[in-house]
Amino acid sequence: MNLDFLPADLIPFQDLDGGTFALLVLIYLATAVIRGAFGFGTVALAIVFSSMMVEPHYAILLALVTGSYCQVQIFPFALRHGDWKVAKPMFLAGFAAIVAGVFIFKNLEPGWLTICLGMVMAGIVVLDHYRVMERLAAKVDLRGTATVFGLSSAAGLIAGIAGGGGMYLYSIYLKYACPTPAMLRGTSILLGAILLYWRFMVAAAMGLISPRLLVESLLLVPPSMIGAWAGIHFFRRASSKRFYDTFQLVLFSGAAILLWKGLQRVL
């Protein structure tokens, strides 16, 4: 399709060839199926694998804006089941840490951002696989102000820099604070959505959200919505344990590749 009638700053994906764009759409479709079926994995996998085709700054911002559109699909569940009293203590530190994280993200060279992204994603997989945070949670007071502030600060900083992975740290507190699975999921979505939109506003205030990026992300919404719908309706009976083991392996492998690419760029 010829889009020459559009202003230059609104022509979507003009720097990508057709094959790369098709692969990008496939990545967002596949990761959305995962989100629909299992409730997690979308942002981390989308960022890791799209970063292998495009600059990491671009991949993270594309996931941010696309996620801001798609969050509308599941936000009503958060309003019905999320607990504002549980989420509220996480916001203050999270807001401040996200501002710091986005500032660091903006000023990191692409090579160092690639290394940072690989380290964050690989670190989360290792911590989760060996249940490090769960063991730590058994030894600290999760009700303490210092613990909540520390988790929120670390999660916000990770989310601001790497674009994904912050909710893993938030979940340590939420598993303790939410007595039912519905409240846990609803509060997780509520917290994730508010912080996602805050990160979007911070990125926009720092001049990182261009009109073309808004248009490009909008084009990725249909495959993301279709993928999530398919995951919800067709993959509910899939083995979550088998999938989760595979998910960790795939994410760790992608993170290792990113780390290697980043080291090659800076050395």
Return the structure tokens found at 191.
Answer: 């917290």
Q: What per-residue confidence (pLDDT) applies to 136?
A: 76
Q: What percentage of the chain has pLDDT greater than the value 90?
A: 36
Residue 96, pLDDT > 50, answer: yes
Q: Residue ranges of the domains in the chain?
A: 14-266
- Continuous H helices in the chain: 18-38, 42-50, 56-70, 75-81, 84-107, 110-129, 132-137, 145-162, 166-177, 181-205, 211-234, 240-266
Of 229 and 217, the structure prediction assigns the larger pLDDT to: 217
Could you report the per-residue pLDDT of 112-137, keeping only the tens digit for each? 999 999 999 898 888 888 888 778 77
Q: What percentage of the chain has pLDDT greater than the value 70?
A: 90
Phi-psi region of 239 (alpha: psi -120 to 50; beta: other; left: phi over 0): beta
Residue 140, pLDDT > 60, answer: yes
Single pTM value for the model = 0.88
Could you report the per-residue pLDDT of 188-222, keeping only the tens digit for each? 888 888 999 999 999 999 999 999 999 999 999 99
Q: What per-residue confidence (pLDDT) applies to 1?
A: 45
